A and B are shown apart, each in its own frame.
Chain A
Amino acid sequence: MKPTQTVALAARNLRRHRRRTIITAGAVAVGLMMYIAVDSLLVGVEEESNRNLIWYETGSAQVMHEDYLAERDDRPLKYTVDDARQVQQALEAAGLNATSRIVFSGELIVYRDPFPEDGSVMVTAYGIDPDTDNDVYRLPQTISHGSFLDPGENQALMGAWLAEDIGAEVGYPITVVTRTRHGYYQTIDLEITGIVNTPNPMINRTAIFLPEDVAAAYLQMDGAATEIAVAGRLGQSLPELTEEIEQQIAGAPELVVADWRTIAADVVALAEAKEMGTGIILLLVFIIAAVGVSNTILMSVLERTRELGMMRAIGMRDREVFATLITEAAGIGLIGGVIGMVLGAGAVTYLVEAGIDYGSIMRDTDVGYRVTQVIYGAWNLPVFGRALLVGIGIAVATAVFPVRRALKMSVIESLRNA
């Protein structure tokens, strides 16, 4: 019997026992889908802090002055990208989404009426370009009250926790006291146009946003910005992105490119370390899925001992019977695997786009205003391929043993079998 015949026979068997095929392949599919979904969720939870950085604080990578990175925590205006517009345009010409920001620290001062009481608090202020910021960051999506900034207007967005702490609402006036790029005292009067509730606690607790041109004028930036943030292309690795940006800024030796991992090195270590916990959970998922798959395959083979005897009785050689059954198992693994991948892709799409709003699942838990209540999944493409291989692998592996055993029985014996 030629391999094609074996495959044809196996395929016919699968078609003939449609119900069994469906249940068995279903087991494979559900197992793999769950594996993919749980993996996506875990990677998603793990990546959430990364995403919170990338979406709200760092972008994928930033162009900055070479001395800025080391002192970034102090938000100095001393080290800047002097011709921010030119750098941004060069990056945009290369097809990259880029936006400049002026980040500085200041003292936020508010007064009783409309605020509940006089007060002052240190904040980090982000001068953002309302037109391009959303190409890299995701602020507008997080506005819980009010609206986004307009260029040239003395408007501010405020982090939700900060707003809650000082009793701020949309329309309230605030004053930021800071120093200009060269050292003058400066005050900036702004009106709160929106409250942003981001999943990034740093932003929620200490940040205000204002239009970059306003910040630039008040701080005498003369066209300089503290950073140009760039959004990575889908599927582009960080080194590739960094290299691409580096080519664009080759003319300015004082500038460097720092990817978000470099910028937020300490936070990144978190994600790496959490992998262990994730690994344990995934292992458990894998065990259940594997048991589910192997169990159904095993059962489907065991229940067919009679059929095996029949095949041998009509003259098929053991090797051929073996090959046919293994091919069947592989076929089930393949069908289940493909369905699992499709279902998995669907589940991941849902998890990535909609996320799981556990706030609404668990109404009774009083989580309050302060925590994000949606966890999102993430695309982890390698796991799809791995899942398919694992599906087929387990199906085949679990079929081998019972088929061998059945073939060791005499034909009569197996025909008599239930």
Chain B
Amino acid sequence: MKTIRMVRRVALTLVTVLLPTVTAAQSPPSAEEIIRRLEEHRTYETSRAEMTMTVSDRFGERQSTMIAYSRGAEEALIEFTSPGERGQKVLRTEDEIYLYYPDAAELVRLQGAALRESMLGSDVSYEDLTGGKTLLDTYDVSFDEEEEIDGHPTYRVQLEARRRNVPYPRQTVWIDAEHFVARRTEQYALSGRHLKTVSASRIEIIDGVPVPMQQVISDELKRNSSTTVRIEALEIGVSVDDSIFSLEELSW
């Protein structure tokens, strides 16, 4: 396990270093390659992030803050720090989500349809947080064309679902040609209706990994509904205690 991680780490670093060369080569990489590199940038061996989430809906805006820890693609823990929900935690393990509330004496386990509920009233559902989201496993990808988003060159890649049990049958992702992070993602319903747009901005290189520091998720069906997630601070590769992702420790 450790070796694999090491190898990946090395590969990751290599990629980052080699990045400008690849772009300079002018011939765009294959869609699979683009997505692979995109995903590599999304997954950290370990990380710790301080984030702010702003939800606006018809009743106005509300803000919450949180600290998120992650390890690999599967494990994550979000701990809310804003007054309204201070101490609440969301633990993601391989295929389950547990919620911890300081006011409750028991953990809440989410399964099945309950995962479709929104987190803190945002446009993010618990389902969006669940693991195992390697895009290449679930989607057939095809390169579309190069396009500029907010003045940045991007590769537009089409994702067509291979399985019928994923939320979005089709997605279009605009991946930054320089940093290989998604600048824009559009998610569609089976009918072809545009459901959600995720727009990323303020890309920063942190510990060698390009990270979009701000993402805006807007619900295209509800005119006044959007969620902004801003990363205030991010450390990658920090040492994270094993116990953080354990169920037993969740309530402490």
Contacts and interface: CB of A to CB of B under 8 A. Distances in A.
B195 interface: yes
A294 to B, nearest CB: 64
B221 A109 contact: yes
Interface string A166-208: 0000000001010111111111110000000000000000000
A175 B163 CA distance: 25
Interface residues of A, number: 21
A28 B224 CA distance: 71
Given A183-B166, A220-B164, A118 B222 contact: yes
B189 interface: yes
Contacts of B113: 74, 76
A111 interface: yes
Nearest to A175: B221
B168 interface: yes
Given A175-B221, A177-B189, A179-B116, A185 B58 contact: no
Contacts of A182: 163-165
Given A185-B195, A218-B191, A111 B164 contact: no
Given A118-B223, A118-B224, A187 B191 contact: yes
Given A74-B113, A179-B116, A220-B164, A184 B190 contact: yes
B161 interface: yes
Nearest to B167: A185
Interface string B142-185: 00000000000000000001011111110000000000000000
Contacts of B187: 185
A177 to B, nearest CB: 6
A222 to B, nearest CB: 10
Contacts of B58: 118
A188 to B, nearest CB: 7
Q: Is the interface of B mostly helix, strand, loop or mixed?
A: loop
B169 A177 contact: no
Interface string A213-235: 00000101000000000000000
Among B163, B168, B222, B223, chain A packs the most CB atoms within 10 A around the CB of B222
A120 interface: yes
Nearest to B169: A184
Interface residues of B, number: 22
B191 A189 contact: yes
Interface in A52-76: 74, 76
Contacts of A109: 221-222
A187 B193 contact: yes
Interface string B196-233: 00000000000000000000000001111000000000
Contacts of A111: 223
A186 B58 CA distance: 23
A180 B187 CA distance: 15
Contacts of A185: 167-169, 187-190, 195
Contacts of B166: 183-184
Interface string A113-132: 00000101000000000000
Please provide the 4 A-B residue pairs with the shortest distance between their CB atoms, ordered closest to farther. A182-B164, A187-B193, A183-B165, A185-B189
Interface of B: 58, 113, 116, 161, 163-169, 187-191, 193, 195, 221-224
26 contacts: A76-B113, A109-B221, A111-B223, A118-B222, A118-B224, A120-B222, A177-B195, A177-B221, A179-B116, A180-B190, A181-B164, A182-B164, A184-B164, A184-B166, A184-B167, A185-B168, A185-B169, A185-B188, A185-B189, A185-B190, A185-B195, A186-B189, A187-B189, A187-B193, A220-B164, A220-B190
Given A177-B189, A184-B164, A184-B166, 9 more contacts: A118-B58, A179-B167, A180-B190, A184-B190, A185-B190, A185-B195, A186-B190, A187-B191, A187-B195
